[in-house]
Amino acid sequence: MKQIFLLSPANCSGVRADWLFRKNSSLELAKRLRGQGVPLSEVFSFLSALYFRGKLAYAQAFARPPGAGAGIFIITANLGLVPHDMLIRTAKLRAFKRTAIGVTSRVYCTSLRRSARQLVGDMGPQCTVVLLGSITSGKYLKPLAPIFGHRLRVPAEFIGRGDMSRGGLLLRCVKDQRELTYIDAGKIASRQR
């Protein structure tokens, strides 16, 4: 069975993000963001050292994309789902910071739904989609569950765990080459309505 991963974004408003936004920051990553650009997954791994790094490593280990398509997409505040290796610059990161992520944000929901519908068309019928992100708030499941239906899955082991615990769990799974147990996200989403 083919399998694609959707990774929830890192916080673009924290202290680490401020380091990148400083005009004269000497951080190598900040310099690259001001210049040629940096893969989004690298930026988010810097912003959320354990949790996002765990999600990315896990998805890289277990993605089985259909054909030559991308196997890992990142949820963004204003662009919907984008391939994890998409290059971004400082202006795009600032735009992520300015746009709210939540079911009441029109920009966020519209772009996420549009890109999710495109992905459904591209991935074919024999592919599941695994969300690595929060399942309690509904900010990811509510817009995505109606589009992906029964093919949207979440790790059962995420239930009741915080972000840091999830990050550590994902890294241990990569080390042990052990995939988590996935459950139908639609059942969780229906409880959030």
Closest by Cα among 47, 38, 57 to 18:
47
pLDDT reading at 192 higher than 70: no
pLDDT at residue 190, as a whole number: 57
What pLDDT, on a 0 to 100 scale, did the predictor assign at position 191? 59
Output the pLDDT for position 99.
Answer: 94
Residue 148: name the closest of 181, 116, 103, 106 by CA: 116
Does the pLDDT at position 193 exceed 80?
no
Beta-carbon neighbour count of residue 11 at 10 Å?
17
Note the pLDDT of residue 164: 80
Mean pLDDT of 76-91: 97
Report percent pLDDT > 90 for the chain: 79
For residues 62-71, average pLDDT: 91
pLDDT greater than 80 at residue 124 = yes
Q: How far apart are CA 145 and CA 92, in angstroms?
A: 27
Q: What is the mean pLDDT of residues 108-116?
A: 98
What are the residue ranges spanned by the domains of the chain?
A: 2-11+43-86+100-191
Calculate mean pLDDT across residues 19-25: 93
User: Please, are residues 88 and 32 in contact by the beta-carbon 8 Å criterion?
Assistant: no
- pLDDT tens-place string over residues 129-169: 999 998 888 899 999 999 999 999 999 998 887 778 889 99
Mean pLDDT computed over 5-30: 94
Tell me the pLDDT band of 34, cut-offs 50, 70 and 90: very high
Q: How many Cβ atoms sit within 10 Å of the Cβ of residue 35?
A: 10
Cα separation of the two ends of the chain: 30
Confidence check: pLDDT of 170 > 60: yes
